Homo-oligomer: A and B are copies of this chain.
Amino acid sequence: METNGYDTYSCPVGRTIELISGRWKPIILYLIQHGINRFGALQKKMPKISRKVLTEQLRDLEKQGLINRDVRVSKHPQEVFYSLTDTGLSLRALIDQIFDWGTANLLDEASQTIARSLLLARAEK
């Protein structure tokens, strides 16, 4: 078989990776799935992300159809709730497979520490 050349932008792998390579996107999807669904709550869980970048990443994920954004006005200050779409949920399953490969193959202290706590969290659900 011959194509006229491979290209990132027409490759499903590249396109899938794009969905989750926003530096924080896998983490954001993970947190939302586990009930951390408010802007402020997400920020508290990721102290190193700025509001600007968090907003951008959330908007991206929304555009890509991976999360829903529900604004509830008529409350104290405006409240915004995020949740996973069906596509988002199925992507989460894929991310868990990536997670498993990573913990099996990138063995060092840092990742092992986080790995253990995340596995615990997954077991709880």
Q: How many copies does the complex hold?
A: 2
Q: Whole-angstrom distance from the CB of A4 to the nearest CB of chain B? A: 8
Q: Whole-angstrom distance from the CB of A58 to the nearest CB of chain B? A: 15
Per-position contact with B for A43-81: 1 when CB-CB < 8 Å, else 0? 001111000000000000000000000000000000000
Binding site secondary structure of chain A? helix
Chain A residues with a Cβ closer than 8 Å to the other chain, count: 50
Q: Whole-angstrom distance from the CB of A46 to the nearest CB of chain B? A: 5
Task: State the 7 A-B residue pairs at the shortest beta-carbon distance, nearest first.
Answer: A12-B102, A16-B102, A13-B26, A5-B47, A10-B110, A6-B27, A94-B101
Binding site for B on A (CB under 8 A): 1, 3-17, 20-21, 23-24, 26-27, 30-31, 45-48, 87, 90-91, 94-95, 97-99, 101-103, 105-106, 110-111, 113-115, 117, 120-121, 124
